[in-house]
Structure 1
Amino acid sequence: MLLSEAAKSYEADKRIEDFSPQTLNAYSLQAKLLVNYIGNTKMNDITIQHLKQYLAESSNELKPPEFVYRIRFIRSLFRWSHEEGIIDSNPASKIKEPKVGKRIPKFLTEREIEHLRDACFTPMEKSLFEFMFSTGCRIGEIVTLDRNSINWGSQAAIVRGKGDKEREVYFNIRCDIWLMKYLNSRNDNDSAIFVTERST
């Protein structure tokens, strides 16, 4: 089987496993770059030397996280190809990831938080900011939040995050007050907690 054919089969397999469109597009791009460098050769003819040479040149062009992602794609593609019986042995099995230093997360100061708070004007902006600040939720979790997700008595909410997993988060009294003000100011029957003006 040719490299391009194996890459398409690999991508199809990951689509069946319900990988996200963004991940599939990234895999497709990585496969094209690999084919452009090595050539559309037979999978069994690709050696560890081919892969190491490709990665050695890539290391000069990519940032460390991007370089690690490329290595992971290659290892995953060839491991899958070996498991599927497409290749007799896995040339990428001994390729290791470089150690990437972890960045220390930057935290906002109290002054910066107050500046952000002052920049919120409408009840929706204020309640959205307070909810994000007090719960630490991602915006992707907040957009799926509905009225039934809120437990006002315990100041808690059930949010749905990555992998469609649910978790419980808690908000403070300031957030509670602004959420109630915001919801009471609306004249719609939308079950979503946060809606845009266009959707109301």
Structure 2
Amino acid sequence: MDWVSIKKDFKRYLLLERGLSNNSIDAYLNDVQKLQRYCDITELNLSEISSKDLQKFLTWMNDFDIAAYTQARLLSGIKTFFAFLQIEYDRDNNPAELLETPRITRKIPQVLSIQEIDDLIAAIDLSAPEGMRNKAILEVLYGCGLRVSELCNLKISNLFLDVEFIKVEGKGNKERLIPIGEQAIKYLKIYLEEVRIHQPIKMGMEDYVFLNRRGNPLSRVMIFLIIKDLAAKIKLRKEISPHSFRHSFASHLVEGGADLRAVQDMLGHESITTTEIYTHIDKEYLQSVITQYHPRS
């Protein structure tokens, strides 16, 4: 079997049949690349791979000391690859089907307090050319709970600010509507009407909301660096990223009593169990519940 042709067909399958994002497709292809490397080293033919061979492959990968989450994601990619071979290449079986996924312990995500978010936004230098843009970025990240890729790809044509909604394209090119609050609308409008309108814009990029000084859409790395710089300014000890604002958005909604299903819809989670991680509650609140309601308190 020709690895080059198979990988090309697999990429087409992930894009057209599964509707995955470019980042997800790259991750799946990276998994297959690891398997190809192992097959080359062990002189193993792809058409003859068995469950035992895949178990040895995972053991080989484990020697690189990869985390359980990474192992689970790798195995998921390999299972998808062999399922694809069954469909497109008439393979008789899926040798990855019965392999057990490593047990993963869910970590409570790093969440910012409302005060920390206020401090980060207050640290933005509004006298700098990019100041108002960065303020709008943080307000939208926290106000709408977007993934960083969703923020980078946000389009002007998908802003419905008069009815306080925005439309984003999430994982698997799935679109969803998200409410947007007054604060985020206010600074988004200032950026669009008073700042962005005066900067150069590259041809074909006119519909993107957030642009760099050369008129191209902002990259994920750039958003990350903006937030890291602000965290250093206020001497924040937490390790944060753009995703921290998404975590904080969800956590603050749930702690405030928001319906979990509504939060799931806004975040674009396929499973409610993913959203349930935000039901963690701080110790002070638990203590206050005991004090208020327990007969022996």
TM-score tier by shorter-chain length is: 0.7 to 0.9
Matches within 5 A, 1:50-65: 50-60=53-63, 61-65=65-69
Residues 1:54 and 1:149: Cα distance change in structure 2 (over 3 Å): closer
Residues 1:10 and 1:131: Cα distance change in structure 2 (over 3 Å): same
Matched, 1:118 2:127: no
Counterpart of 1:156 in structure 2 is: 165
| Deviations 1:122-149 (CA, angstroms, capped at 9, x unpaired) | 2211111111110111232223333332
Aligned 8 A contact 1:155 1:171 in 2:
yes
Aligned residues: percent identity? 20
What TM-score does the superposition give when structure 2 sets the normalisation length? 0.56
Residues 1:72 and 1:118: Cα distance change in structure 2 (over 3 Å): same
Aligned 8 A contact 1:156 1:170 in 2:
yes
| Deviations 1:147-173 (CA, angstroms, capped at 9, x unpaired) | 332223322212222222221112222
Matched, 1:183 2:192: yes
Q: 1:193 aligns with which of 202, 209, 212?
A: 209
Q: Which has the higher contact order (CA 8 A, sep 6+)?
A: 2
Counterpart of 2:12 in structure 1 is: 16
SS, match of residue 162 in structure 2: coil
Larger proportion of helix: 2
- 1:82: how far off? 4.3
- 1:9: how far off? 4.4
Residues 1:73 and 1:33: Cα distance change in structure 2 (over 3 Å): farther
Aligned 8 A contact 1:30 1:70 in 2:
no
Residues 1:155 and 1:41: Cα distance change in structure 2 (over 3 Å): closer
Residues 1:139 and 1:73: Cα distance change in structure 2 (over 3 Å): closer
What TM-score does the superposition give when structure 1 sets the normalisation length? 0.79
Aligned 8 A contact 2:31 2:74 in 1:
no
Counterpart of 1:49 in structure 2 is: 52
> Which letter does structure 2 place at the counterpart of 1:76?
T
Q: Which moved more, 1:15-24 or 1:63-72?
A: 15-24
Which ranges in structure 2 are unaligned for 5 or more consecutive residues? 126-130, 217-297
C-alpha separation in 2, matches of 1:67 and 1:8: 24
Matched, 1:134 2:143: yes
The number of residues matched between the two structures is 194
Counterpart of 2:243 in structure 1 is: none
Structure label with greater radius of gyration: 1
